[in-house]
Structure 1
Amino acid sequence: MDIILWRHAEAEDGSNDLARQLTEKGRKQAAQMAEFLHRYLPVDTRILVSPAVRTQQTASALSKDFITTPSIAPDASPHAVLQAARWPNAGGTVLIIGHQPTLGSVAAQLLGCGQESLRIKKSGLWWFSRREGSMATTLRLVITPDYL
Structure 2
Amino acid sequence: MNLILWRHAEAEEIAPSDLARQLTVRGRKQAQAVAKWLRARLDDDAVILASPAVRTIQTVESLTDQYRVVRELAPGASAADVLGAAGWPEGIAPTVVVVGHQPTLGHVAAQLLAQSDTSWPLKKAGVWWLASRERDGDEQVVLRAAISPDLL
In the alignment of these two chains, the number of paired residues is 148
- 2:127 aligned partner: 125
What do residues 79-128 of structure 1 show as CA deviations (whole Å, max 9, x unaligned)? Answer: 00000000001250000000000000001011124211100000000000
| 1:40, distance to aligned residue in structure 2 (A) | 0.3
- 2:38 aligned partner: 37
Letter in 2 for 1:5: L
Equivalent pairs: percent with the same residue? 52
Letter in 1 for 2:102: Q
TM-score w.r.t. structure 2 length?
0.94
- 2:116 aligned partner: 114
Q: Give the aligned CA root-mean-square deviation in angstroms.
A: 1.1
SS at match of 2:140: coil
* Structure richer in strand, relative to its length: 2
Query: What CA distance in whole angstroms lies between the structure 1 residues aligned with 2:4 and 2:22?
Result: 22
Query: What CA distance in whole angstroms lies between the structure 2 residues aligned with 1:10 and 1:70?
Result: 21
- 1:49 aligned partner: 50
TM-score w.r.t. structure 1 length?
0.96
Show structure 1 runs of 5+ residues with no match: none
- 1:144 aligned partner: 148
Show structure 2 runs of 5+ residues with no match: none
